[in-house]
Structures are given as C-alpha cells and as structure tokens.
Amino acid sequence: MAEPAAAKRGIPPKDDFNAWYPFMVEAAELVDKRYPVKGMDVWRPYGWKAMRLIDGLTHAEMERTGHQEVNFPLLVPEQLLEKENRLVSRLQRAREEGVDPSELRMDEDATGFAKEVYWVKHAGETELDVPMFLRPTSETAMYTMFPLWIRSHADLPLKTYQMVNTFRYETKQTRSFIRVREIHFFEAHTCHIDEDDATRQIEEDLEIAARLMHDLCLPVLVAQRPLWDTFPGAHYTVGIDVVMPDGRTLQVASVHHYRDQWARAFDVRYEDAKGEHQYCHQTTYGMSERLLGAVVGVHGDDRGLILPPAIAPHQVVIVPVLAKKGANEVLAACNKLQAQLRDAGLRTHLDDRDLRPGQKYYDWEIRGVPLRLELGPRDLASGECVLVPRTGGKSNAPLAGAAEIACKALDAVADELRKRASKLKDTCMHALPALEHSGTGQLTLTESVAPGRIYELPFDGSDADAGMVEELTGLSFLGDAREPFTKARKCAVTGESTKRCVWLARTY
Amino acid sequence: MAEPAAAKRGIPPKDDFNAWYPFMVEAAELVDKRYPVKGMDVWRPYGWKAMRLIDGLTHAEMERTGHQEVNFPLLVPEQLLEKENRLVSRLQRAREEGVDPSELRMDEDATGFAKEVYWVKHAGETELDVPMFLRPTSETAMYTMFPLWIRSHADLPLKTYQMVNTFRYETKQTRSFIRVREIHFFEAHTCHIDEDDATRQIEEDLEIAARLMHDLCLPVLVAQRPLWDTFPGAHYTVGIDVVMPDGRTLQVASVHHYRDQWARAFDVRYEDAKGEHQYCHQTTYGMSERLLGAVVGVHGDDRGLILPPAIAPHQVVIVPVLAKKGANEVLAACNKLQAQLRDAGLRTHLDDRDLRPGQKYYDWEIRGVPLRLELGPRDLASGECVLVPRTGGKSNAPLAGAAEIACKALDAVADELRKRASKLKDTCMHALPALEHSGTGQLTLTESVAPGRIYELPFDGSDADAGMVEELTGLSFLGDAREPFTKARKCAVTGESTKRCVWLARTY
C-alpha cells in the first residue's frame, strides 16, 4: 500500500536508500543542500530544532555527570601541531625500542589530520606570520590551556565539554549529516589522576551514550576498535555504531582513553598529595550531527521521517477537519486542545493553514511528527478526537483526557521504534561463514558473504589475520564487542580458544 | 573603605578602568586570555554560562516574535562577494547620477569587509579552486539562499536568526568581549513585502532590544547613525550604545533597514497578489558578546563583578558558617535551603568547600553573584539566615519564607543596578558648550570638552558641519536620538531651527 502512494508523491521507496535518504533530508526541510560549497549544508529551522533537541539531551547528561561547558577558539596556530607531532615521534620511538606495545600505533594517522584541515594563511590583504588551521577536533587547542588550569589533585577530575563547529576537508563523497565538511560537533575532554579514574570516565561515557541511544531509539553496536583504527595518541577507542537499514554501520560516537600519552606531549601535570608532579590521564568523547543522520536513516519509512518523541520539534500536530458548518467551534476546540497539551509539556503545533486535511497529513508525515490528532465536527459532537500515531494505527480519545492519552501514545511510538530498531539489528547480525585453509594454505570462505549483513565471529588472531579476513570479506573490523562471548569458542582463523567476539561490517 | 580592601587583594580600583576591566574578566573566570592567538579568548565555564543565559533571553525574544532559528555555513565562497561589489557599484552609480540621496553611501565600507576577513585558500596539501572567507556577518551567505525559499507573498515575512561564530581580522588593539577576532554573534535577518513592513520590523527589533537592556540593567542611547556610519547597503542604521563608566560609549547592538538594496543585488524577489515580481525589503539585527562586556564594565565595582540576576549563573550562593559544634546540622539546613530555593526556580549554589567563609565571600563577590545567604549555628537556632545582596546591605530572613524573600531581594538588586545605570548616564550627559564663529570665520568651542562626557546638541547641519564638530571636539557623532527634542531649538552650527537631537561621544 504505502509504496505506490509514496511513488505517486515522488518519494523514492526506502528500499532504494541511496535515493531515499538525500531526498528525505531536503523534503522534510532539515537542510538545504544548494549552498554553493560542497559538503556544507544550510540547516533549516526544522532540522536545526531537531538537532538542538538532541543537543539538549546531551547538555542534560553533561549536567547530570558534572561536566562543565567551555568554548574554545576555532583557529589553532600551526606550531601546536608540532607538539602533536612530537607525541607521534615518541610513539614511533617506543615501537622501535619495543617498549610498550600499547604505544605502537597511529604514527601515520596522527599527522593524517594535517592533510584534512583547512588552512588560514591570509587575512585581509596580508599573509599571516603564523598559519592557523580550522580545528578538526580540539585536543591541541585544549591541551595547550589545561596545564594552566590544573595545579593539584584537588583540580581533578577536570570534566569539560563544548559544542562547536569543526572542519574536515573531506575528499570522499559527502552526504548530509553523515559525511560533511563543517561538522556540528560535541566533544568532552577530561583529565584524571590516574588510569583507573580515566577508565571509570570511559564507563560513564558509555552509560551516557546508552541513555542517549535509548532516547533516540537507535540500534547500536558498541565495540572496542582494533589497534589500527584507534584514534591518534589513544590507548584505546570505543566506537558506537548504528546499524543502518542497508546493513552498513555508521559510527555516531566514539570514546577515547588516552592514558597519559597526550598529557606527556602537552605537559598536562598535577601535584599529587605527596607534592610530586604526575601526568594526568585523559579521555575524550565525541558525537556529531551523525546522530540525526542515524535517526533519519533508521526510523524513516516510505512516507517520510519518523522522529522519536524525545527530539521531535513538534511532538503532536493537531489538524482541524473543517466542514462548512461549525468551523469556528472546531477551531476553538483545537485551540483549547493545543493549550491543554502544551500545559502537559508537549511540543504541540496546531496546523490551521487553509489547506485540505489530506495535504496537511502528507506534510507532517514527511516531517515525521510522531503523533497526529484530528478533530472534526462529528468528533467534537461526541467529545472526542482521533489519534493517529506515525508508526501506524488509529483510535479515538476523549477530549477531556487527551493530554494524558497523547503522552502514552508518544511513549508507545518510542517503544515501537525501539522494537523495530531491535528487529533491524537482529535481521542484520549473522555468524560469519566458516573459514578454511585451501590446499595452497590460503584462507577461503566456505560461503560468500551477503550484502546488508553484519558478521560476528570469535577471533583471537593477529593484525595480519584480521587484514586477511577484511580482504576476503570486503568488510571492515568494527572491533571487539564490549560484551565478549560467555563461553570460549574457537577463533575463526587460528582455531585457538577465545571469548573475544568481533564484528565485521560495511561502514559509512 | 572598599578601595583599600580591594587594593589589598590585588584588584585594581574601578576608577582605573583600563586596568580593572582586563583584570576582572580573568579574575572572575569569564575567559582565559592566554590562548596563543591574539584577540581569541577561551570561554571558561562561568563566563560561557553567563553568555548562554544572555543568549537564552534572546532566544525567548525570538520565539515570542516568531523568528525561526537557522544555521548557515561559516565559509563563504569568494564569488559571492562579487554580488556585494555589484551592489556597491550600483549605489555609486546612483550617486553619480544623483538619483536617490539615500543610496549614496558606503561605497568604501562595503568593500571594506574584504580587508577584514580571514581567507581559506588551502586545505590539506592542496590549493582550493575557489578561495573562501570566514563570515564576518552572513548577508552574502543567507541572501544567496533566500531567493530559493521565497516564492510568493505568502512566504513573507521571512524572519530568521542564528547564533554563530563570526570573524574579523582586527588590526586595532583587542579587548575581551569588546573587540575580538572571533565573535560570538547573534544575527536576525528578515524579508518583507514592502518598506513599511520592514520599518515595522525595525520597531519590533528596538522593542526587543529595550527588553533585553532592561534585563541586563544597562544604560543605553538609541541613535540613528549618521549617513557615513551606516552599514554597507543599508538605508539607515540604528545603533544601541551602552554608556560605559569612563563615559565612552560601546555599541552593543545595531539594527539595519536595507530597503530593497540588498534584494536587488541578490535577486530576493516574491510574487505579489497580482502575480507580479517584487523585490523584498530587508532588515537585520545584530548583537554579540559585547553585551557581556557592557554588563561587566557598567555594573562592576572595586570588589568585582555584579551580575544582573537575569543572567547570573548562580543567582544565590549559600555559604555555611561552621563552628566546631553543630556543623552537620548547619550543612543539613543549607542543603534544605538550597532545595527550597531551587524549587522556586532560583539558580542556587551551595559552597561547601573546606575554606573560611571570608575566602568564599571574596570569591563570589569577584564573580558578581547577586545574592549571598549566610547560615551559621546561631542563625539556625533562631530559624533565620542572613541575606547579603551584592549591591550592599545585610538583613535577616526567616528560613521558612527564604525563597520568596530571596526572589524579592534579587528584584531589588536588579532595580538598584538600573538606578545606578540611570545615574551613570545622567552624570555623563551634558549639553555641548556653545559654538561660535571666530573672526576668521572658523568655528570654535566657547569652552573645551571634558573627558568622560557625552554631549547632546541640536543639529541640522551638513556632513561637512558634522565633520567640523567632530574635529573640534575629538568626539564621534553617535547620530540622531530616536526621540527628538519636543520643542525646536537652534542648530548648534547653523542656527537654523530644528528638533533633531544629536549625540557626540568617545566610542569604543
């Protein structure tokens, strides 16, 4: 039913996700892509409101967990990159000297940022003495200041965050919210007395992320990234990946444990209780508008978006169904209903435009309003209105108790979205077909991998083994599931016994 | 009394404003100026919270008046400047042809922006095909998109705003909040069917500004800028100037009526009811963190800031006065008091640090918390607490009704700040000493101007006359008071009868 109707309206079916997604972000008036710089969209009011509601949830979590909001300059002087480079050299030296395997990573990627930044070398008609770059993220800017703010252990933990625009010169194809060049970015940066306290912060971050994902009703995988996919200078990285409808995964958040590696590069130290200077252990936690991209992608259907009630700019839209007679009475009742819902704290919009109800339904379905209330003369006569949740169904509700019923209906929409998300994830997750060594000793798959699937496997091999599996499957290692297998299994490559559960997927 | 005490603490006296102001913005932990780029401060949590509270007032005003929030990209491609240049050429031509005197302005300043922008010409290791600049303000970016959003008169008025970072390559000396290179900027942009509707928008903007200035308790002058100080492409500009303690004025907001001048340059048109295409008339309204700079400068005293309750991150701080006996009871009562005040909607902070009360008083006085509550064992025994408004005085209040009394005390602090602001303004405003023509026909002042004064004069002369007055006094024309004299007077220069009231001041 839905598909032909959608087609009639010019909406690509959701099965054709690569056509549906870009169509929908503009049709729902989230962004306008016609701004004349590739990968930089204009946020329209409806999209920006949804994003700010997501930000609001994040602000609330930051307040709950005692983080303080700061705001750092966008421009970073070139010389601060040198400290980052020294960090990289140190890690390289550690590798050469075989000191600590946890420090053997990321030598290339750490300077990789330099290839992805926008440079400001001119102002007005003059060439600047010191070139500056637009922050791709704020480690260098912040860790230049932290040593000035931290004196003793009493100043720790330092828990800060900011929401700012960051920039990355993407050479890959851009896509609204998912791969953009100006990023609406959230970044939390913390400093701790020791590794354990930093590790506790990582746990707190993952709990925050879980609460946000619950509000956004998103199906996620939480995985500790493999060494080669760890953030520059990090001890380890945990990625939070959303399972998208096409079975690809989208990293929407990442959490990094830096140990004291950045602190050593930037001299972020404190005086401990004995009066001795110690390096801080640091963490970061990053998210972006990819959260909104995931919401659009996961929940939408052939008729448009479906926004989780927690972030819907309008949670309820009221559509009057007017006849020639009694129009004023119906409008008056709609206004009263709106006041009633707003008093109950619901973001409510009364659509009193001079259009047919069907046109209004269409508009709000595209925009994903989770609950529609219809009210016509006959409903009014019977003291009722009609409830139409965006996830399907239709029922009558007495006008008197409409607010309470609407609240319950919104909870039900969120539950339904979570159920669908969970089903999507279950559908995508599969065990990896068995691997076997061919006659020539080469690893082969006993069965080819199918598109749209995410594979789970017991794995305890080397980086080289992992590389081989990636090549065989054409998929990427997401890393180790935060929850390993409860019972040991045989590693898919080496056959050794292991509880490590590893995921493979095609990523955005 | 206050001055020696402050001096003892290392705070410069406020009379020495040029030392006091930069000391105070850092001592109160609003910003950190040690970031290694001149004119780009780091916002610390306390300062950022105060700024976000100011932004919150602005958001509320925007919502009240039906503006919608958008968010445009920071980077603007060079070619969009060309349209702006064409606008300037048109205005130049109009002048040469003597068409409309209202279009004869700003030819230099319109291109002046090009001299003040930061350029992005490189990304990674490549040189960009199209250079881009960091927005100094968003006319060019927005007016490129507006034609895509506006079709008919039904789409008007279009009322949008955004809060974003903007950039200006300041060559003058920078000063926190007042003259910075990365600006925390509010800008509203509107499109209207005709000049009258745009003029009504200007009136609405000035009403919004008046409401904000009331909340911030600031003493302001509202003046229509002289032609030579009008914004590029504007028909006229109204500036809102705060009277600072040293008698200089600080422009904290400006409102511009563009008529259809920008619309012609960017082809911003609509179809009217008759099906004919018309150019929109546009306005803009801009504000920045200068609002916070004005709050710091106007209200502070020798002991620190005094924040208006509407924007104080902590409206009330509770300081327990602990003795050896009964410490737990006092702390319990303080916690209860905090809960009580928070329930009443007051932003309340309980300072339970292990420090002497005197040290805490000092800290919160510097930070300008408008109301302090002290609670010790003797107060608790008598069921009272001590109220200490930051503006002076001390009284007891029963714990039972503390929330209500605190609300009233905060209102009284705001009233006192407004009274002081009004007094500051009255002290600064003076009639300009009479001008007379010397024997050689040169204009001279009968009495020299005094520093720290703002002068008012009846004026109906030419631009050349105004230039002469500026040169004589060493002051700048703020422009015409929005409220002219009620009775006609003689122009200070020409002697002609006029109701125009003009202000002269030294400006920031």
> What CATH number should be reported for the domain holding residue A464?
3.30.110.30
B318, B375, B385: which is closest to B349 by C-alpha? B318
Q: Are residues B291 and B321 in the same domain?
A: no
Cross-chain Cβ contact B124/A80 below 8 Å: no
- DSSP H or E stretch at residue A437: strand A435-437
User: Which two three-digit tokens encode residue B52?
Assistant: 């976000």
- Residues from chain A that touch B118, judged by Cβ atoms under 8 A, are 75, 120, 122-123
pLDDT digits (tens, 9 = 90+) for A19-35: 999 999 999 999 999 99
Mean pLDDT of chain B: 93
Which CATH number fits the domain that encloses residue B342? Answer: 3.40.50.800
Establish if A419 belongs to a structural domain. no
What is the mean pLDDT of the segment spanning B101-119? Answer: 60
What is the mean pLDDT of the segment spanning B331-347? Answer: 98
Q: How many domains does chain B have?
A: 3
Give residue for tokens 């209200």: B299
Q: Are residues B119 and B248 in the same domain?
A: yes
User: Given a cut of 60, is residue B161 above it in pLDDT?
Assistant: yes
Which CATH number fits the domain that encloses residue A95? Answer: 3.30.930.10
Q: Are residues A252 and A121 in the same domain?
A: yes
- Residues from chain A that touch B34, judged by Cβ atoms under 8 A, are 145, 148
Cross-chain Cβ contact A73/B124 below 8 Å: no
pLDDT digits (tens, 9 = 90+) for B179-230: 999 999 999 999 999 999 999 999 999 999 999 999 999 999 999 999 888 8
**Segment 44-83 of chain B within 8 Å of chain A by CB:** 44-45, 48-49, 52, 68-75, 77, 79-80
Report the gap between the CA of A138 and the closest CA in chain B (Å).
Answer: 12
Residue B232: how many other CB atoms lie within 10 Å: 24
Establish if B23 belongs to a structural domain. no
Residue of A nearest to B134 (CA): A120
Cross-chain Cβ contact B148/A119 below 8 Å: no
Q: Are residues A261 and A333 in the same domain?
A: no
Confidence category of residue A97, pLDDT binned at 50, 70, 90: low
Report the gap between the CA of A409 and the closest CA in chain B (Å).
Answer: 27
Establish if A101 belongs to a structural domain. yes
pLDDT on residue A84 = 75
Residue type, B38: K
pLDDT on residue A112 = 54
Of the residues A299, A332, A351, the one at which a domain ends: A299
Cross-chain Cβ contact A121/B123 below 8 Å: no
The span from the CA of A386 to the CA of B15, in Å, is: 68
DSSP B431: E
Give residue for tokens 């602001």: B421
Parent domain of A287: 2-299
Closest residue to A119, CB basis, from B43, B123, B164: B123
Which residues are paired to A350 by β-bridges? A318
Q: What is the largest CA-CA distance in chain B?
A: 88
Q: Are residues A366 and A267 in the same domain?
A: no
User: Given a cut of 70, is residue A6 above it in pLDDT?
Assistant: no
Lowest-confidence range among A3-7, A87-91, A361-365, B398-402?
A3-7
Q: How far apart are the first and last CA of chain B?
A: 31
Confidence category of residue A99, pLDDT binned at 50, 70, 90: low
The span from the CA of B380 to the CA of B371, in Å, is: 19
Report the gap between the CA of B322 and the closest CA in chain A (Å).
Answer: 22
- Residues from chain B that touch A132, judged by Cβ atoms under 8 A, are 37
- Residues from chain B that touch A69, judged by Cβ atoms under 8 A, are 45, 48-49, 52
Lowest-confidence range among A89-98, B293-302, B316-325?
A89-98
Q: Are residues A341 and A294 in the same domain?
A: no
Q: Are residues A288 and A371 in the same domain?
A: no
User: Given a cut of 50, is residue B103 above it in pLDDT?
Assistant: no
Confidence category of residue A105, pLDDT binned at 50, 70, 90: very low
What is the mean pLDDT of the segment spanning A113-117? Answer: 81
Confidence category of residue B110, pLDDT binned at 50, 70, 90: very low
pLDDT on residue A2 = 40
Q: Are residues A21 and A117 in the same domain?
A: yes
Confidence category of residue B174, pLDDT binned at 50, 70, 90: very high
Coil, strand, or helix at residue B492? Answer: coil
User: Given a cut of 50, is residue A239 above it in pLDDT?
Assistant: yes
pLDDT on residue A324 = 86
* CA-to-CA dists, residue B236 to A202, A261, A456, B186, B401, angstroms: 55, 56, 66, 19, 52
Q: What is the value of ipTM here, to two decimals? A: 0.94
φ, ψ for residue B320, nearest 5 deg: -75, 140
Give residue for tokens 């020798």: B302
The span from the CA of B92 to the CA of B168, in Å, is: 25
Cross-chain Cβ contact B169/A124 below 8 Å: yes
Q: Are residues B328 and B396 in the same domain?
A: yes
A298, A295, A337, A290: which is closest to A312 by C-alpha? A295
Establish if A116 belongs to a structural domain. yes
Mean pLDDT of chain A: 93
In terms of pLDDT, which residue wins out, B338 or A79? B338
φ, ψ for residue B366, nearest 5 deg: -60, -40
A440, A439, A502: which is closest to A473 by C-alpha? A502
pLDDT on residue B94 = 66
Of the residues B414, B448, B476, the one at which a domain ends: B414
Of the residues A299, A324, A345, the one at which a domain ends: A299
Coil, strand, or helix at residue B146? Answer: helix
Establish if B51 belongs to a structural domain. yes
Establish if B49 belongs to a structural domain. yes
Cis amide prior to B157 (ω within 30 degrees): yes
* CA-to-CA dists, residue A207 to A220, B17, B296, angstroms: 13, 48, 39
What is the mean pLDDT of the segment spanning B461-483? Answer: 94
In terms of pLDDT, which residue wins out, A80 or A331? A331
pLDDT digits (tens, 9 = 90+) for B241-284: 999 999 999 999 999 999 999 999 999 999 999 999 999 999 99
The span from the CA of B3 to the CA of B23, in Å, is: 15
A275 at interface of B, judged by CB pairs closer than 8 A: no
Report the gap between the CA of B84 and the closest CA in chain A (Å).
Answer: 16
User: Given a cut of 90, is residue B104 above it in pLDDT?
Assistant: no
Residue A236: how many other CB atoms lie within 10 Å: 21
- DSSP H or E stretch at residue B191: strand B182-192
Percentage of chain B beyond pLDDT 90 is 86
The span from the CA of B286 to the CA of B395, in Å, is: 42
The span from the CA of B30 to the CA of B49, in Å, is: 9
DSSP B301: B
Q: Are residues A180 and A291 in the same domain?
A: yes
pLDDT on residue B231 = 84
The span from the CA of A362 to the CA of A304, in Å, is: 9
Establish if A65 belongs to a structural domain. yes
DSSP B440: T
Confidence category of residue A3, pLDDT binned at 50, 70, 90: very low
User: Given a cut of 50, is residue B109 above it in pLDDT?
Assistant: no
Closest residue to A32, CB basis, from B37, B42, B148: B148
Coil, strand, or helix at residue A70? Answer: coil
Establish if B162 belongs to a structural domain. yes
pTM of the predicted structure, to 2 decimals? 0.95
Q: Are residues A146 and A290 in the same domain?
A: yes
pLDDT on residue A229 = 85
User: Which two three-digit tokens encode residue B294?
Assistant: 């004005």
Report the gap between the CA of A205 and the closest CA in chain B (Å).
Answer: 20
Lowest-confidence range among B105-114, B167-176, B447-456?
B105-114
Q: Are residues A387 and A482 in the same domain?
A: no
pLDDT on residue B227 = 86
A446 CB-near residues (< 8 Å, 6+ apart):
A433, A434, A435, A436
A309, A302, A293: which is closest to A416 by C-alpha? A309
User: Which two three-digit tokens encode residue B344?
Assistant: 């009443």
A326, A300, A55: which is closest to A164 by C-alpha? A55
The span from the CA of B503 to the CA of A242, in Å, is: 61
DSSP A241: E
Coil, strand, or helix at residue B94? Answer: helix
Confidence category of residue B382, pLDDT binned at 50, 70, 90: very high
A316, A299, A318: which is closest to A307 by C-alpha? A299
A105, A55, A112: which is closest to A287 by C-alpha? A55
